[in-house]
Amino acid sequence: MFDAALVLSQVCDGINATDASGANTHMSSVAICALLIRAGYEPVMQVSCRDRNRIAIQGDILGASAMGVRNVLCLTGDDTSIGDQPQAKRVFDLDSIQLLRTARIMRDEGHLLSGRKITSPPRLFLGAAANPFGPPYDWRPYRLAKKVEAGANFIQTQFCFDIPHFRQFMDRVCDLGLDREVFILVGVGPLRSDRAAEFLRTKVPGVVIPDEIVERLRKSPKAEKLKVGKQICVEIIQQVQEINGVAGIHVMAYKQEELVAEIIEESGLLPRPRQIGAGLEDPLRQDRKWKRENKTST
């Protein structure tokens, strides 16, 4: 994990700590965040509703905040049926929108869902996921609006390979004024091969990869497929940067961390305009700014 983080930290503002993504068992998100913070990195802690009830989730949020976690991505979570232990029991005491509201209440109102006061409320920058590519398409911007209303400060989207469709989604997002309320980070990633592309678009819910991209990889020589997959990712980043309402890029390069630096450099994302940890608004700094403007002592 530290080897991967060292590569990523040179070019990114925050590192996602996934919470049993794909319903597969991995080191816990809280533990990953603890290790990353200890090593000086800025993590984004993912919290899934699939495996824990509201008591455990609220406890994890408090514990993570105490360790210095500032960014929390709230997810409903993939169903256990698609994971490596499909017999596992589902919890789903909350969904992603309810989780966002819970974390916002803890942060802004200073109490748990039970009503019990929190001595030191967590100072968090809250995130959520969005999938512009899953039907019903017209409903997706309104689903995003619900998450913003629930407390989302930033959004990480599903993989974006269909630029025209994503542009239509963002046009509607901007019409609703959501781009002025939330930071939207577009999900991108390199494809290893046409076989990898076929797997993603047939086995991973919500991933849409146009035929022309798969065909471009298929026609590439075997030794060039990885290079072509990286180039496609670079081209997508360059295109989505020009779309109104896009605030940043969320690079997903599972087991291809070594490519991230090349992708970010070749896509023109460097140098970064600012260096304040996660690259999103520091909630502690935001709090101090609010208090200064309102002549309140810190």
Tell me the CATH number at 163.
3.20.20.220
Residue 298 lies in a domain: no
Residue 263 lies in a domain: yes
pLDDT for position 274: 57
Residues 133, 123: Cα–Cα separation, whole Å: 32
Residue 206 lies in a domain: yes
pLDDT for position 103: 98
Residue 276 lies in a domain: yes
Residues 212, 292: Cα–Cα separation, whole Å: 53
| Helices 54-67 and 96-104, packing angle to 10 deg | 50
pLDDT for position 4: 84
Q: 273: which strand partners? A: none
pLDDT per residue as tens, the chain (298 positions): 898 888 888 888 999 999 998 899 999 999 999 999 999 999 999 999 999 999 999 999 999 999 999 999 999 998 999 889 999 999 999 999 999 999 999 999 999 999 999 999 999 999 999 999 999 999 999 999 999 999 999 999 999 999 999 999 999 999 999 999 999 999 999 999 999 999 999 988 789 999 999 999 999 999 999 999 999 999 999 999 999 999 999 999 877 888 898 999 999 988 876 544 444 444 444 444 444 454 443 3
- Residue recorded with tokens 């039970």: 114
> How many angstroms separate the Cα of 293 from the Cα of each of 109, 180, 188, 237?
20, 21, 38, 37
pLDDT for position 3: 86
* Helix H or strand E encompassing 74: strand 71-75
Residue 168, classified by CB atoms within 10 Å of its CB into exposed (0-12), middle (13-18) or buried (19+), is middle
CB atoms within 10 A of CB 291: 12
Residue 257, classified by CB atoms within 10 Å of its CB into exposed (0-12), middle (13-18) or buried (19+), is middle
Q: 46: which strand partners? A: 73
Overall residue count recorded for the chain in this entry: 298
pLDDT for position 251: 95
Residues 32, 17: Cα–Cα separation, whole Å: 6
pLDDT for position 1: 87
Q: Which of 13, 64, 62, 74 is closest to 41 using CA atoms?
A: 13
Burial 205-226, CB ≥16 within 10 A → b, else e: eebbbeeebbebbeebeeeebb
pLDDT for position 205: 76
Domain of 243, in residue numbers: 2-293
Q: How many domains does the chain have?
A: 1
> Across the beta sheet with 246-251, what order do the strands follow?
15-17, 43-48, 71-75, 125-130, 154-159, 183-188, 246-251
Helices (H), the chain: 2-9, 29-38, 54-67, 96-104, 140-150, 163-175, 194-203, 211-218, 225-240, 257-266, 283-293
Residue 205 lies in a domain: yes
Residues 269, 11: Cα–Cα separation, whole Å: 9
